[in-house]
Amino acid sequence: MKLSCVGVIGLLGLASAAGAAEAQNVAALEPATRSPVFMRIFGNAQPPYGFVRFCDGQPDDCAGGQEGNDARFSATPERLSELDEVNRAVNKAVEPATDLEVYGVNELWTLPESKGDCEDFALLKRRVLMERGWPASALLLTVVRDEKNEGHAILTARTSQGDFVLDNKTDDVRIWNKTPYHFVMRQSYINPRVWVSLDPSDAATPSSLAGVQANREKE
């Protein structure tokens, strides 16, 4: 099953377009009523095929990591507010569209020009936050199943106060266990090119959900 979301992205400087008055302070969000606030890892997972191709073309966006250091990024109120600001700015600036509509292919992970789908939103939010000083190890692309049991991509911010979700479906930044999603897999904070399973029922992520296809699509 490929990711079925729609979304897209624009300029890398657009995060500054959202005024502080418009941003909801993430630090003021209601604490999660379910525990834990940190995601648990259940082994390795096969990276989405579209992600692998993206890294081949954009290696700088797939560099970094936190080898040998399990420390989480310090979630000051100012930093948490940045999550909200960037999430809202990207969601506002982007026109949702499928890869087929924009690029003529079923699956393409990219930093969009003006349109894109869910993984493109996540990629742009990650890039903008990294330009603001967030480390790559704290910004993890994540695949979930949504309310319709369809594949969906989001960005997870791994912080000292919990794992927060930036989602093109909502302007609200939420702690991961306050979302309606079933979490499947995400990037490793140690190596961005490696993915780990978040699903306790799966020893390994099914290749179909990971976006791996027997026959590669022609570009």
What's the rounded Cα separation, in Å, for the pair 11 and 124? 8
15 near 85, Cβ under 8 Å?
yes
Residue 34 has pLDDT above 50, yes or no: no
Residue 200 has pLDDT above 60, yes or no: yes
Residue 38 has pLDDT above 60, yes or no: yes
20 near 89, Cβ under 8 Å?
no
211 near 48, Cβ under 8 Å?
yes
Residue 186 has pLDDT above 80, yes or no: yes
pLDDT per residue as tens digits for the range 49-61:
999 999 999 999 9
Q: How confident is the model at residue 164, as a pLDDT?
A: 98
Residue 23 has pLDDT above 90, yes or no: no
Is residue 22 assigned to a domain?
no
Q: How confident is the model at residue 166, as a pLDDT?
A: 98
Q: Please indicate whether residue 215 or residue 78 has the higher confidence score (pLDDT).
A: 78
Is residue 5 assigned to a domain?
no
Residue 66 has pLDDT above 90, yes or no: no
Here the CATH number for the domain that contains residue 146 is: 3.10.620.30
pLDDT per residue as tens digits for the range 148-157:
999 999 999 9
Q: Please indicate whether residue 199 or residue 65 has the higher confidence score (pLDDT).
A: 199
Residue 212 has pLDDT above 90, yes or no: no
Is residue 31 assigned to a domain?
no
What's the rounded Cα separation, in Å, for the pair 55 and 20? 33
Residue 43 has pLDDT above 50, yes or no: yes
Is residue 27 assigned to a domain?
no
Range(s) of the domain holding residue 90: 39-197
Write the CA distances from 10 to 3, 15, 103, 121, 219, integer angstroms: 20, 10, 15, 9, 22
Q: How confident is the model at residue 97, as a pLDDT?
A: 87
Average pLDDT over residues 139-147: 96
> Which residue, among 120, 135, 128, 174, has the nearest Cα to 16 in the 3D structure?
128
What's the rounded Cα separation, in Å, for the pair 118 and 112? 11
Is residue 164 assigned to a domain?
yes
Is residue 141 assigned to a domain?
yes
157 near 164, Cβ under 8 Å?
yes
pLDDT per residue as tens digits for the range 77-130:
999 999 999 999 999 999 888 889 988 898 999 997 788 899 999 999 999 999
89 near 29, Cβ under 8 Å?
no
**Of all residues in the chain, what percent carry a pLDDT higher than 90?**
59
Query: What is the domain count for the chain?
Result: 1
* Average pLDDT over all residues of the chain: 79
Is residue 48 assigned to a domain?
yes
**Helix segments in 104-217, DSSP class H:** 118-131
Is residue 106 assigned to a domain?
yes
Residue 57: Cβ within 10 Å count: 10
